Structure formats: C-alpha cells, structure tokens
Structure 1
C-alpha cells in the first residue's frame, strides 16, 4: 500500500506527521508492504506550515497512478471570531503567522489540489483519508455531498452546509473515504488504516511501539440504527 501525505501552504504539521510516522512504522513492521511519502500538488518543494514557520519538504508530486491512499491534513492557524475577516494590511510574513484556518483551507481551492482530489475521489482504486480540516477541503471542492464524514468539532456545521452527513466521531469510515476528527486523531487514523489494510497484528505492533491506544468507535454505516435515548 503506497500512501502519499499531501502538503499545502499552511498545513497543520501534526495532521501530516502523525499518520506519516504511524504508516512508516507499519511499513517496517510489514517488511515494506506499506510505503509513505510527503508530496504536494506542485511537486518537490519546501512547504510552509501554519505553525510558527515550520516547514516540511515534499519529496514528490501527487501521483494518482502510484497512490493507493492519499492523506490530506487540515490547516494550522487561528480559529478567529465569528465573522472575522483577514487583515490585508499585514505584510506577507505576518499573514503567514496570523492566518485564519478557513482562509488557509480556502486558499487550496486556488491550486491544482482540488482537481487532483476530485480525480482521486472518483478512482475506485484510491482511498482518500483526511485529518481535521482536510475533509473541509474536500467539502469546499464539492466532493462530499451525500458522504458521511467528520472533522474538528468546530467545523462540523460547515460539512453539513456542503451537503455532507457530518458526524461527531473520532473516525468515520465511508468506504473509499476515511475522515478523522481533531488534530491528534491523525494517530488513530494511521493505526486504523494499518488495521484495515494490513490487519490487526501489524496495527497492534505499531500501537505498542507508539504507546498509544486508539480512542472511540470507528463509525461505519453498518448494523442496527440506534433508537433515540
């Protein structure tokens, strides 16, 4: 299983690194059955995160011919107050440190990323996974209508507004779309992906290595529908 973790300007570092490191460890535990790399829509480059100028290097381009799994992180920045608009009087460097998360997520729509994600979403051989606000990028690109998904609790209403079925769950498995909630859920996402694709023994070995126990139930559209409490 080859995974490409997608970086974009303003990404949240933990959203990207948590699943990356879990999947990398899964590759070691599975004798190379899992591989993972950092990529961007623009190709190899230094990609600035939204956290204090931290950058990561994308070593390749998004390649839908090679990827079995794409992982899309959210953005790191300020949540802001309702109705707050960005201060355009700030310099470029200052804006990079003071951006609102919705602005950073929305800016991805001006790149090649949404078109590539749309292709991936319509390719039956590719699974798309997101962490935190990564699902909002898909939603803003019109790719989540009618799909079950989650994101950070502060963004659930935005998922609903785009026609998605927003769920307050740690991880939502909707077949070829797997979404995870707030920032630390990237660890749980990586472990769940290992269990789903490589089996529970590989996932458990990495869980033991990382001293991290997954939280919550993975929501799937299976089984009995619950009655109202």
Structure 2
C-alpha cells in the first residue's frame, strides 16, 4: 500500500505527523506500506499553520500512483466560514493568525480539489482525512451525502457543506475514511493499518506507541439504534 499525505499551506502539523509515523512504522514492521509527503504543486517546502513549522513535500500528489491519499486539516483560528483572506501581508508572505476557513479556502483555490476528485472517483484509491481535512473535501463538493466526521467544532459546517456529519472518532465509508480532532490521526492510522494490513501489525504499532485507540469505528452497518 503506497500512501501519499497531502501538504498545503497552513496545514496542521499533527494531522500529518501522527498518521505518518503510524503508517511508516507499520510499513517497517510489515514491508507492506510506504509513505511520502506530497503537494499539489510538487516537491517544495510547505509552511504549516503552527508556529511557521515547515515540512518538505518530496513529490507531487498523484492519484494514479497512490493506494491511499490522506488529507490533513488546517491550523489556525477557528474563525467564521465567511471569513476571507486579508491583504496586509507583504509579497510572498502569508498573513499571520489566519482562520481555518481562510486557510482551507486558499487550498481550494489551488489544483488540489481536482486531484482529490480524481482520487475519489477511482475505486482503487482510498481517501482519508484528519480533522479539518474532511471540511476541505466537503467544501470542494466531494462529500455530498457521505457519512464523515471532523473536529467537533466543525461538525455543523461539515453537515452544511453536504456531508452526513457523524460525531464519532473514526468513520469508515469504504473508500472514504475520516477522523475527528487532531489527535485522532493516531487512531485513523492504526485503523487503516488494521484494515489494510492486518490487526497483528496494527497491534504491534499500538503497543510501540503506547497509545490505546479510542472510540468505536462508525460504519453504516447493522441495525439503527432506537430508544436511546
């Protein structure tokens, strides 16, 4: 399984690093997983939204080359959905203290949405998202009617953008797997290892990281609960 984790300007570092380490460790333990950081523009240094921390994308996002594409959220002020980017930054600079809606909106103005649509249209590619990554997908019009989750502060916006918002730690909708707040990237990575590689590998990584997964993975299966 080849995994591409997407970087865009203002990304949340923990959304990236947590699943990267889990999946990379699973690959080292099994030989069955490879992971790389990518961007829509190709190899470049990408500045995240937390303290100017930058990571380097080593390749271009390529749905034809990936089995799994993982989309992080953005790191910034919670802000309001209608906020727009300010114009007070100098040439080549990104304004500080931007809101998450602004950062996601800027990512939507790049070539990223078209590449993500290509991935979601391919039945051989699984698309995963951590935290606000689900909002990015929904705002791009790619989650219409599909169950998904995000950070609890963004669930209302997720529903307003057309998704079926589910308040769960991890939501598995087949070719789309999403997780909630930023630390849920650990749980998402471990669940994907279990689903795609096997529970022995997932358990070994879970033990190594001294992290016990939280919550039930929600799927649209079984009877609908009543009377609760």
TM-score (norm 2): 0.95
- Could you list the structure 1 runs, at least 4 aligned residues long, displaced by more than 2 angstroms after superposition: 80-97
The secondary structure found in structure 2 opposite 1:137 is helix
Give the corresponding residue for 1:228.
227
Contact 1:53 1:97 in 2 (8 A): no
Equivalences, count: 228
Alignment correspondent of 1:24: 24
- Partner-residue secondary structure (3-state), 1:189: helix
* Structure 2 portions without partners, runs of 5+: none
Q: Cα distance, 1:133 vs. partner?
A: 0.3
Query: How do 1:100-179 and structure 2 match up within 5 A?
Result: 100-179=99-178
Alignment partners' CA distance in 1, 2:77 and 2:150: 16
Secondary structure at 1:104's aligned position in 2?
helix
Q: 1:222 to 1:50 in 2, by over 3 A?
A: same
- TM-superposition CA deviations, 1:173-221 (whole Å, max 9, x none): 0000000000000000000000000110000000000000000000000
Match of 1:10 in 2: 10
Structure 1 residues 65 and 35 mapped into 2: Cα distance closer, same or farther (>3 Å)?
same
TM-score, normalising length: structure 1: 0.95
Mapped to 1, the partners of 2:83 and 2:59 lie a distance apart of: 36
Deviation at 1:64, TM superposition (A): 1.4
1:76 equivalent in structure 2: 75
In the alignment, is residue 50 of structure 1 matched against residue 49 of structure 2? Answer: yes
State how far apart, in whole Å, the 2-side matches of 1:101 and 1:47 are: 16
Deviations 1:88-115 (A, max 9, x none): 3355688543110110011111100000
Distance 1:82 1:197, change over 3 A: closer
Distance 1:58 1:94, change over 3 A: closer
CA distance in 2: counterparts of 1:85 and 1:118, whole angstroms: 24
Q: Gaps (5+ residues) in structure 1?
A: none
Q: Is the 8 A contact 2:83 2:102 kept in 1?
A: no
How far apart are 1:158 and its partner, in Å?
1.0
